[in-house]
Structure 1
Amino acid sequence: MKGSRAEEKIMSGCAISGILNRKGNRFSGEEIIDSIALMHERSNGLGGGFAAYGIYPEFKEQYAIHMFYDDLDAKEEVEYFLNRHFNIAVAEKIPTREVDKISNPPIIWRYFAMPNEQKLSEFGLADDEYVAQSVMNINANYRGAFVVSSGKNMGVFKGVGYPEDIGDFYKLEEYEAYLWTAHGRFPTNTPGWWGGAHPFTLLDWSIVHNGEISSYGANKRYLEMFGYKCTMQTDTEAITYLFDLMLRKHKLSLESAVKAVAAPLWSEIERMEPKEKKIATAIRTIYGNALLNGPFSIILGHKDGFLALNDRIKLRPLVVAEDEERTYVASEESAIREICSEPEKVWTPRGGEPVIGLLEGREEVWA
């Protein structure tokens, strides 16, 4: 599955894009492909991918586990593990088509499954924690196997290639989702290989990321204190796990999580009103090792919508737009206007300013 490194290091590379229908109406993958394809020059063909939410309504209560396998031996070993720990309703090949520019794909499979009740009782875990631990176990201990995504009613489709070719390869025009995110990759520190393409996921969290996180070592060590296994040696995996830790395990609000990863400077905290200063100080103190240093812009997708964010100094671009039903976010305004020629509102968020797009009626959940 692994490929070669990019010959040049272009620090501003990578493209991200996202579309949310706030009313929950589903639409095909054609628009997100058109949006990310317009930013073709921001990637180099070593990685492209998409996250889609709402695509499996007939299996919406099951975990949809997407897998890459290097060979049939790896597939056999992982399926033995899955059959012992999960009740699998469906196991099938993910549909693809031949695309000239896509070569040497792994074995690509999906499973709709629920944790085995006896195992849950034995380990004393909730469903989501059981699945999360199973994902990290497979990625750490099963050679030649990689969990692409593991959420409910969502899936990730990624690989080595330009994103528009990856979308064509996976037949994304045949899927319908209420939230799509996309990534065009220009790898700078890790090889271009199928598992290394974005989005990175855990449960229904997905991250697409443009940038380079210099705090990866500190973030990784911090996550390992809470049982996370960072096996990919990439900052995007660490970002995904940080949000899982803060939002799922620690039940922080989205805005509080943002104050941890893109924390205000201490000099800014000193000038805050007393109540705001107390909260910011507590978050900065408790979650100091969750701080992301370096240039970045990210889109965090989840079942209720998305969070878009760039670094405090705004070293990576991010543009947002809205119309009557949708919220759009992308690295370039042109990528939004390609699919929405006359948005009602367009703006560029300040550095470290979160853009939170949610399904109607879900605002209180993330307050």
Structure 2
Amino acid sequence: MSRDLIEKLTHSRGRLVEGLNLSCDIKKSADEGGCGVVGFCCTEPVAGRHIYEPSRQMHNRGNGKGGGIAAVGFDPGQLGVSRKTLDDYYMLHIALLDAKVRTEVEKRFIKVNFEIAASGKLDTVKNWQSVDGLHVRPPDVWRYFVRAKDNVLDKFIAENNLQQLDRRDAEDEFVNQNSFRLNQEYYASLGEQKAFVLSHGRNIMILKVVGYAEAIVKYYKIENLRAHVWIAHQRYPTKGRVWHPGGAHPFAGIDMALVHNGDFANYHSVSEYLRQRNIYSQFLTDTEVSALLFDLLSRTYRYPLEYIIEAMAPTTERDFDCLDEEKQKIYRAIQASHIHGSPDGPWFFIIARNIARQNMFQLL
């Protein structure tokens, strides 16, 4: 992507936060201990019950204050849509902590902006207390298959001078910014959170609970839901009362989900790096800024995967010395540009991606 387009995208995100009451303080909502992460990717779709057992075996790596699962690459028949809808439309998953706000959320952020191919509430068991591993009633989750309305997207492109940007890339950015606005209105700016976006990519779903990850499989009745990629996370926050799953992993970017084990010594630095590019966290965790950083490097800067990894986890010492001269030159330039935004561990990521234009699913 050209420098000019990058600057215009960054400026559009600056317009997004104008007038918002964003705190100047950068802080985390909770410290985290040694969390549990797991993931697998298969050429054939695999039923959700197969993420249940590895999640359960990580039970001791969580403390019941947050569990999450993400899946990528579904069977359209199981979701009640066509293959074209599954491939082309964004799967917008919204968690309703207060079910009464659904009509308002739909009116302000969904129906006005999107063509909706299909929608519905995810099925659940009747009694959440019958599911082992749940500490709080999970949120109602509504799924919408959406594409931006032509006139809405045209206006967004014109207002932000993004005419040179590929139209699908502009739609990705519109979806991303719409989710930010929704979260800011119903989650980040409220004393009592009411709703937030779980995921907003194509052919991808994220679910979270206050409890253990394996409980998601039972509560949302996804034992037989098939997908090519599954990842799960057991959260271990070490301070603070947790009553809703907003801070649980995975965290979403466009067409990706990320889980994380470890802690950042430089959370403040990474957050400042993102803010300088008009990207603001809303859930105040290491993992959220990791997902935002990966999304920035891949979707805005368009780095190939090798350069994304180098920007986030710089090669050092003897490993760097063993590189050939040309590779050292490239890596040195990446490090000079991004070292202040590189997470300082120890940390470990698992990332599930839908690379839609290549018709490929990926587990990193």
Q: CA deviation at 1:270?
A: 5.5
The reply to whether residue 164 of structure 1 matches residue 192 of structure 2 is no
Q: CA deviation at 1:132?
A: 0.7
Instruction: Give the 5 Å matches for 1:249-260.
Output: 249-260=300-311
Tell me the distance in 2 between the aligned counterparts of 1:215 and 1:76: 40
- Comparing 52-61 with 280-289, greater Cα deviation is found at 52-61
Alignment-derived partner of residue 120 in structure 1: 153
Q: What is the aligned counterpart of 2:93 among 66, 89, 112?
A: 66
Tell me the distance in 1 between the aligned counterparts of 2:351 and 2:215: 23
Alignment-derived partner of residue 180 in structure 1: 230
Alignment-derived partner of residue 179 in structure 2: 135
Tell me the distance in 2 between the aligned counterparts of 1:35 and 1:225: 39
The reply to whether residue 82 of structure 1 matches residue 116 of structure 2 is no
Amino acid in the other structure paired with 1:39 = M
Aligned length: 302
The reply to whether residue 197 of structure 1 matches residue 248 of structure 2 is yes
The reply to whether residue 45 of structure 1 matches residue 45 of structure 2 is no
3-state SS of paired residue (1:238): helix
Instruction: Give the 5 Å matches for 1:351-362.
Output: none
Q: CA deviation at 1:272?
A: 3.9
- Comparing 215-224 with 234-243, greater Cα deviation is found at 215-224
Query: If the length of structure 1 is used for normalisation, what is the TM-score?
Result: 0.76
Tell me the distance in 1 between the aligned counterparts of 2:238 and 2:261: 11
Is contact 2:255–2:355 with CA below 8 Å preserved after alignment?
A: no
Is contact 2:120–2:143 with CA below 8 Å preserved after alignment?
A: yes
Summarize deviations over 1:52-101 as a string: whole Å, max 9, x none: 11125333121111111222443233211211111122221111113424
Alignment-derived partner of residue 233 in structure 1: 284
Q: CA deviation at 1:111?
A: 1.1
Give the gaps of 5 or more residues in structure 2: 1-28, 163-169, 188-193
Q: CA deviation at 1:290?
A: 2.3
Amino acid in the other structure paired with 1:20 = C
Is contact 1:14–1:210 with CA below 8 Å preserved after alignment?
A: yes
Is contact 2:93–2:206 with CA below 8 Å preserved after alignment?
A: yes
Alignment-derived partner of residue 26 in structure 2: none
Give the gaps of 5 or more residues in structure 1: 306-358
Q: What is the aligned counterpart of 1:95 among 106, 123, 127?
A: 123
3-state SS of paired residue (2:74): coil
Q: CA deviation at 1:264?
A: 2.1
Alignment-derived partner of residue 12 in structure 2: none
Q: Determine what percentage of the aligned residue pairs are the same residue.
A: 34
Superposition RMSD on alpha carbons, in Å?
Answer: 2.5
Is contact 2:32–2:235 with CA below 8 Å preserved after alignment?
A: no
Q: CA deviation at 1:155?
A: 0.5
Instruction: Give the 5 Å matches for 1:312-331.
Output: none
Amino acid in the other structure paired with 1:86 = F
Q: CA deviation at 1:142?
A: 2.4
Tell me the distance in 2 between the aligned counterparts of 1:284 and 1:10: 27
Tell me the distance in 2 between the aligned counterparts of 1:274 and 1:280: 10
Amino acid in the other structure paired with 1:87 = E
Query: If the length of structure 2 is used for normalisation, what is the TM-score?
Result: 0.77
Amino acid in the other structure paired with 1:294 = G
Query: Structure 1's 261 and 149: CA in aligned 2 closer, same or farther, altered over 3 A?
Result: same
Tell me the distance in 2 between the aligned counterparts of 1:265 and 1:217: 22
Tell me the distance in 2 between the aligned counterparts of 1:191 and 1:198: 17
3-state SS of paired residue (1:67): strand
Amino acid in the other structure paired with 1:93 = K
Amino acid in the other structure paired with 2:98 = D
Structure scoring higher RCO (CA < 8 A, sep ≥ 6) equals 2
Q: CA deviation at 1:271?
A: 5.9
Q: CA deviation at 1:183?
A: 0.7
Tell me the distance in 2 between the aligned counterparts of 1:149 and 1:362: 19
Tell me the distance in 1 between the aligned counterparts of 2:75 and 2:101: 26
